[in-house]
Every structure is written in structure tokens, then in C-alpha cells.
A = this chain, B = another copy of it.
Amino acid sequence: MREVAIVGVGLSKWGEVWESSLRTLWTEAALAALDDAGIDHVDSITVGCMTPGLFTGQEHLAAMAADELGMAGVPATRVESACASGGVALKAGFAEVAAGLADVVLVTGVEKMTDVSGDECTAALAAAADAEIEVFYGATFPGLYAMMARAHMARFGTTREQLAAVAVKNHKHGALNPHAQFRHEITVKDVLASAKVAEPLNILDCSPITDGAAALVIADLATAKKLARGKPLVRIAGLGHATDRIALQSRADMCTLPSTTLAAGRAFKMAGKAPKDIHLAEVHDCFTIAEIVVLEALGFCKPGEGGRQAESGRTALGGELPVNPSGGLKSKGHPVGATGVAQAVEIATQLRGDAGKRQVKGARVGLTQNMGGTGASTVVSILEVAS
């Protein structure tokens, strides 16, 4: 298998971007990554997007994207795994380079979410759950994650304030990130006083609806070295992918995320690393409870100790293991199909030392964890500065 490295990163504007359509957002991120890599041609394109059909009426997205970029002819593949679509786009591009089907691949993710009403958006996102045995009975994602939060609180004594501490930390990080949708700090009191969404989750426990796109240029190591021109090379040292029962009710336990544990195990094995080797991580904090359970599932703390990680400062910038230095989904935003790619953009930016005010000092190994639904799919990547 050929080794693969990241040689370019790019983001579109993120937020409620009324002035840009799906294709404009995508192209903005793609051009930024190509510009960063210093190239104007790629061998292949992957596009992670959850549901452009329900959000915008446009499928056949990869062909549309290649065309929009002036690259009609280039093989282009859209992949979907709900909110893990971006992670799967990275895996698909990685496979093509590793196999030798392509030397240079543009790996992208995008979602345009604000062109539909709030109800339509909730319905589109619910398509990530089991349509027949969850959505049909009225389940939505805030409700499903609220049940996970209640279960975690009941079993481990996780507190309402510990949930809030995740949002407070991630807003603090996001305030330092010029790309973040929300660049203001919040307090635990703000979170507790914010509008209820699904008990015990309030609106400030939830990641926002976001328009945005993210892009990476990846290449085989030999090509990457030629393209690096002095910039630090970031190698994709490990990549793990796993699934789980799609409906929360089908799982043995609401307090664990087996797909994340499995995917992480595969990524750690491939990279020859363990949780203690990781200097920083971008994880899927779609709701505050998610970051808590994910840290346990990744082996960054013991089961039941997830709630103490943000509260204690361990996962803050300056702490032992900074988590979501970008601001995470909560503050940076969550254009669902883009998120997995944007996580790798942040880690690569950090490992290159380009993260400005939110820079994690001395970071040489980072991890991304991107999941779909209530964890029915997860992609974990381990990125490392190539020596």
C-alpha cells in the first residue's frame, strides 16, 4: 500500500452563507486547497455530502462539482455516510492513492443547509436515522442524543454542568478561529439558561445549521514531497472506518459508541500508535454529550470519565490533550457533509504550525473522529508530521 500525505487544505466561508449556493461553496473550498497545494490539476475528486437531494434538489454531485471547477473529465465520486460523509470522502480518496489508481486526489466535503425551512432541515437530517423504526415514530437527532445524555447521567453521574463545559470550551476555542461560525465565548450559565431543545439538551448544547465546504489535496508520498516546497508534510498514518446498528434502540448500550471504538482501533493499529501518542484531536461534538462519549470510546479516558475532561481543563487549549481546537462542530459550525474533511483541515493546519492563536504547541500527531447518525458510522484518521 502506498503512503499518502496531505499537501493542501482549504475552507469556504462557513455560517449562514445566503450569498453562496452549494456549488459556489464547494468551489471556494476546492480552489483554496488547490491554491495551497500550488497545483491546477488532480487525478481524481471525492465529494462527501449527506443529502444534496433533500437540501437542494441536486444529486449527481461529483460530476457537477468537477464541472464547476473546470475539471470535467476528471473521475469524481460522491460518497455519503450521513454526518460522516466527509470522513468517508477522505477514506475513498486515500484508497485511490494507496492503490495507485491516482497520484493526486482532491478530497472534499460540502453541505448547503439553509436554503430550506427549519422543519425541512430537521427532516433531511433525520434521514440519517432509521427511517422505518426511528423517524417514522417521530425521533429527531436532538431527541436521540438527549436519551444518550440521560443514560450517561444516570449511569455515571455526569452532570448538566459537565455537558455545558464542553460547549464553553469549544466556544472559547472557536473565538480564536477566523473560520468559525460563532466567534464568541459563552459561560456555563449561558448554556443552562438557553432554550430547551430536548431535555437535558439546550440550544447551546447543539451544533448549529451551517453552510460550508472543506477541501484537502492528498498525494502519494513521493509526489507529496515534490509538492511540499518546504512546508511540513502531513502523512495520513492511520485510517479506520466502522459501522454499528443504525437505530439507537437496536444497540446493547446507549453509553458507548462501538463504531468509534472499532474505527479507532483500526486506525491506531495501522498507524502503530495508541491514544497516549495523540497530541490533539478534532472529534464529532454534534451535541455536547457526543464529545463526552466519544472521548471514552476513543480511549482518551475511562468509561464514565468523559464528563470530567472539559470541566477539568484537560481538553482545553493549553491542557494535556486539546480537543476541538478549531471550535468543533459546536462553534466552528457543522455543514454535515463537510465536517469530516474540515476536521482533517484543522489537524493538518495545526501540524504545520499554521493555526495562529489556537495553535497547539509542539503538535506532531493528531486524530480526527467523524461520525454519522447516533454513531452508526465512524471514520477515524491519525495524521502525523512526516519526518
Mark A residues whose CB is within 8 Å of B: 1-2, 21, 23, 44, 50-51, 53-54, 56-64, 66-67, 71-82, 88, 91-92, 94-96, 98-101, 123-124, 127-132, 135, 241-247, 250, 258-259, 262-263, 372-373, 376-377
Contacts and interface: CB of A to CB of B under 8 A. Distances in A.
A71 to B, nearest CB: 8
Highest count of chain B CB atoms <10 Å: which of A44, A71, A246, A372: A246
Contact of A81 (B23, B78, B96, B98): B78
Q: Which 7 A-B pairs have the closest CB atoms?
A: A99-B99, A75-B241, A98-B99, A60-B82, A63-B376, A59-B127, A58-B131
B56 A131 contact: yes
Contact of A63 (B76, B81, B98): B81
14 contacts: A1-B101, A51-B59, A53-B124, A54-B54, A59-B128, A60-B82, A60-B246, A63-B82, A64-B246, A67-B245, A67-B376, A78-B80, A79-B79, A96-B99
Contacts of A258: 73
Contacts of A44: 241
B124 A243 contact: no
A100 B63 contact: no
Contacts of A21: 132
A48 to B, nearest CB: 10
Contact of A128 (B60, B128, B129): B60
A64 B56 CA distance: 23
Contact of A62 (B64, B123, B243): B243
Contact of A59 (B58, B82, B243): B82
Contact of A243 (B66, B99, B132, B372): B66
A76 B78 CA distance: 14
A298 to B, nearest CB: 17
A72 B80 CA distance: 17
Contacts of A242: 73-75
Given A75-B241, A79-B79, A131 B95 contact: no
Nearest to A372: B60
Contacts of A100: 1, 98-99
Nearest to A78: B80
B81 A60 contact: yes
Select the residue from A77, A81, A92 with max chain B CB neighbours within 10 A.
Answer: A77
With a 10 A CB-CB cut-off, give which of A80, A242, A262, A372 has the most chain B CB atoms.
A80
A37 B183 CA distance: 54
Contacts of A50: 59
Given A50-B59, A67-B245, A72-B376, 4 more contacts: A1-B101, A53-B124, A73-B258, A98-B99
Nearest to A76: B243
A86 to B, nearest CB: 13
A377 B76 contact: yes
Contacts of A259: 73
Contacts of A95: 92, 95-96, 99, 101
Contacts of A79: 77-80, 92
A167 B88 CA distance: 39
A62 B50 CA distance: 12
A191 B63 CA distance: 33
Contacts of A246: 60, 63-64, 67, 72
